[in-house]
């Protein structure tokens, strides 16, 4: 759900630690709303995961997370990363979360989920989820379906749903998402990923 993404992985040699980093950004094109980009940065050292987000849980809200990743490679690959974090800003609270991926052949699934335990009270507790299911269509391209909940954009739909496509070129990945197609609540999200 972001327009700018950065992901990196580098291995010096087998004796060096594996590390990776990512920065993601998404821009929402929603009629009659002044929307700010969502930015996400990640760092992974071996299985230890760190993540920071801005304008994700809410507008003018920053959050930081720490977690640990378990993964399995093979014909069927998957990873699970439970996390804990804190948010400050327009919305503040404790954030238990979970990210997971799974792939089989050219079918890929990704989901990130969190629950806001707001400092302001239980009436402001909130569950957020972003999930996508895709398949490789052409070289360097994948497309599929996506669904999310949004705190700061409410419609008659409890879950915003749609389709998306991503194209990779070198270290960059460009994405376009179309939510709530053929309704009065449709909107577009653009994303950019840079890998290093």
For the chain, what percent of residues have pLDDT higher than 70?
A: 89
Domain total for the chain? 1
The model's pTM is: 0.84
How does pLDDT run across 166-176, given as a tens digit for each residue? Answer: 999 988 899 99
Q: Which string of DSSP letters, residue by residue, matches the chain?
A: --S-EEEEEE-SSTTSPPEEEEEEEEEEE-TT--PPPEEEEEEEETTEEEEEEESSSSTTEEEEEEEE-EEE-SSEEEEEEEEEEEEEESS-EEEEEEEEEEEETTEEEEEEEEEEEETT-GGG-EEEEEEEEEEEEETTEEEEEEEE--SSS--S-SSEEEEEEEEEETTEEEEEEEESTTSTT-EEEEEEEEE-
Q: Which domain holds residue 127?
A: 5-195
Instruction: Look at residue 195 in the predicted model and tell me its pLDDT.
Output: 80
**Of 14-18, 21-25, 142-146, minimum mean pLDDT range:** 14-18
Work out the average pLDDT over 66-87: 96
Can you tell me the mean pLDDT for 22-35?
86
Look up the CATH number of the domain holding residue 16: 2.40.160.40
pLDDT (tens digit, 9 = 90+) per residue, 107-123? 999 999 999 999 999 99
């Amino acid at each position: 759900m972001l327009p700018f993404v950065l992901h990196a992985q580098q291995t010096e040699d087998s004796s060096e630690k594996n590390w990776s980093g990512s920065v993601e950004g998404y821009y929402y094109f929603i009629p009659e709303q002044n929307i700010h980009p969502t930015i996400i940065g990640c760092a992974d050292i071996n299985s230890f995961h760190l993540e920071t987000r801005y304008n994700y849980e809410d507008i003018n809200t920053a959050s930081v997370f720490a977690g640990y990743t378990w993964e399995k490679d093979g014909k069927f690959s998957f990873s699970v990363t439970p996390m804990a974090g804190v948010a400050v800003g327009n919305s503040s609270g404790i954030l238990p979360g979970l990210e997971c991926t799974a792939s089989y052949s050219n079918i890929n699934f990704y989901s990130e989920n969190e629950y806001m335990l707001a400092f302001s009270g239980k009436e402001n507790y909130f569950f957020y989820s972003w999930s996508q299911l895709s398949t490789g269509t052409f070289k360097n391209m994948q497309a599929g379906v996506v669904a999310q909940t949004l705190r700061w954009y409410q419609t008659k739909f409890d879950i915003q749903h749609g389709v998306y496509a991503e194209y990779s070129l070198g270290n960059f990945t460009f994405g376009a998402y179309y939510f709530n197609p053929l309704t009065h609540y449709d909107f577009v999200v653009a994303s950019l990923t840079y890998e290093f």
